Amino acid sequence: MYGLVNNGVRTYVIENHGKACWSAICAKAGVDEQEFETMTAYDDAVTNAMVGALSETLGLTVETALEVFGRYWVGFAQSTAIGKLIDMSGDTFWDRLRGLDDMHERIQNTMPELDPPGFDLEDMPDGSRRLHYHSSRNGLAPMVVGLLHGLAEECGLEVRIDHLVAKADGADHDVFGLSVMTSEAAA
Ligand code: HEM
């Protein structure tokens, strides 16, 4: 993952748990404590080791740690230099979801080694919606749950997310059922 993501983990830990906690996590993960180069693509093993150490240090499951970070990432990514260049301002939560592939594609212009996720929003006949999440990576579905909650929160919504189909169970990709808990008029 690009250093931007690793710096997101670093900033999350320092903001919420302090520098000493970050040092402990780095020591456990065996990674250098320095800030990461935002525009450098690091091996995913670095990110995975940090998330593993973070979950152990904070006493969370890896899934919960990923979800917490996903929620945090929405605000953090938009506050970074590259995030500020990206128009995340679709009119509604659903527009923003539909725009995620275009957004990551634009990021790819400046981060050529980006290996972005792919999302498809499916309107079901009963009016509900399903989000299909494709990735070359494994294990990040809990982060997507956090990302979706974070994105919904920014749009003034609370969403219910059901993990209907899991790549971890051998499926080709993950599928989430999405329904709005608060009034859609607020979107
Ligand atoms: C301005 C906001 C955002 C920026 C700048 C951004 C940027 C990035 C970057 C740099 C990566 C690392 C990919 C790599 O290094 O190969 C990434 C990964 C990812 N992003 Fe975004 N992102 C943003 C918002 C979002 C949102 C709102 C979602 C979903 C709701 C999302 C979903 C993901 C996922 C799931 C990954 C992991 C890659 C994978 O699944 O293989 N991102 N993003």
Mean pLDDT value across the chain: 94
Residue 165 has pLDDT above 60, yes or no: yes
Q: Is 49 in the pocket of ligand 1 (CB under 6 A)?
A: no
Q: Is 51 in the pocket of ligand 1 (CB under 6 A)?
A: no
pLDDT confidence band for 183 (50 / 70 / 90): low
Range 61-78 burial, b when 16+ CB lie within 10 A, else e: eeeebbbbbbbbbbebbe
Q: Is 2 in the pocket of ligand 1 (CB under 6 A)?
A: yes
Residue 187 has pLDDT above 80, yes or no: no
For residue 84, the CA-to-ligand 1 centroid distance in Å is 14
Average pLDDT for 153-162: 94
For residue 131, the CA-to-ligand 1 centroid distance in Å is 15
pTM, two decimals, is 0.94
Residue nearest atom 3 of ligand 1, based on CA coordinates: 77
Residue 44 has pLDDT above 90, yes or no: yes
Q: Which atom of ligand 1 is nearest to the CA of 74?
A: 27
Name the burial class of residue 101, with classes exposed (0-12), middle (13-18) and buried (19+) by CB atoms within 10 angstroms of its CB: middle
For residue 117, the CA-to-ligand 1 centroid distance in Å is 7
Residue 146 has pLDDT above 80, yes or no: yes
Q: Which atom of ligand 1 is nearest to the CA of 78?
A: 1
Condensed to tens digits (0 to 9), the pLDDT of residues 98-127 reads 999 999 999 999 999 999 999 999 999 988
Enumerate the domain spans of the chain: 3-60, 99-186
- pLDDT above 70 coverage of the chain, percent: 96
Q: Report the SS3 class of residue 159.
A: strand
Q: Is 60 in the pocket of ligand 1 (CB under 6 A)?
A: no
Average pLDDT for 148-154: 95
Chosen CATH of 99-186 out of 3.40.50.300, 3.90.1520.10, 3.40.50.720, 3.30.70.560: 3.90.1520.10
pLDDT confidence band for 182 (50 / 70 / 90): confident
For residue 146, the CA-to-ligand 1 centroid distance in Å is 12
C-alpha distances in angstroms, 30 versus 17, 22, 38, 116, 165?
19, 12, 19, 26, 34
Helix axis angle for 44-58 and 19-29, nearest 10°, is 120
Condensed to tens digits (0 to 9), the pLDDT of residues 72-106 reads 999 999 999 888 777 666 789 999 999 999 999 99
Who wins on pLDDT, 86 or 61?
61
Q: Is 180 in the pocket of ligand 1 (CB under 6 A)?
A: no
pLDDT reported for residue 156: 92
141, amino acid identity = A
